[in-house]
Structure 1
Amino acid sequence: VIAGKTVRAVLESVGLKDVLSKSLGSKNAANVVKATLGALKKLRLREEIYKARGLSIREKKEPPTAPAVAPAAVTV
C-alpha cells in the first residue's frame, strides 16, 4: 500500500494490499476517510463493466511470454 497514513489505515483495515493513492485537496483526516470509503463503494467488478457496455466476457488469456533469448544490443 502506497498511501498517506489515513488512507493506508482504511485500506489495510479492509484487507487491500496492492494500492497506490494520491489525495488532492483536504488533508483533514475525516474528509480523507470519507473520500476513501466513497471511492471504495464506487469500485465495480470487471464483469459488471462488461455487462453495462454490452460486451462479452472472453476467456482469460495468458499474457505473452518474453523471448528466451534477448535480441543483441545495437551499437552506434
Structure 2
Amino acid sequence: RPYPCTICGKKFTQRGTMTRHMRSHLGLKPFACDACGMRFTRQYRLTEHMRIHSGEKPYECQVCGGKFAQQRNLISHMK
C-alpha cells in the first residue's frame, strides 16, 4: 500500500482514498449545499442531502410502494 496517511500512518492502495481519509483528520468538507450551506466530506452525501430540498425519493418498496430518499432507509424498511 503505497499511500500512507501522514497523520495516523494508515496505508491506502489509492491516492484518492488516502486523500478522502485525510479530510477526516483535517475536518475538510469541500462539498457544500447551495440551498442551505451544509457541508460534506463526500460528493454522494451531498447528493443524498439535496433530496431533502428537492423531495426526490428514487427508492421504492416493491411490497408496499413506500418511497425513500436514501437507499439505506429502504433497506432498513425491508427488514
Structure 2 length-normalised TM: 0.26
TM-score, scaled to structure 1: 0.26
Say which structure is richer in strand: 2
Q: Which has the higher contact order (CA 8 A, sep 6+)?
A: 1
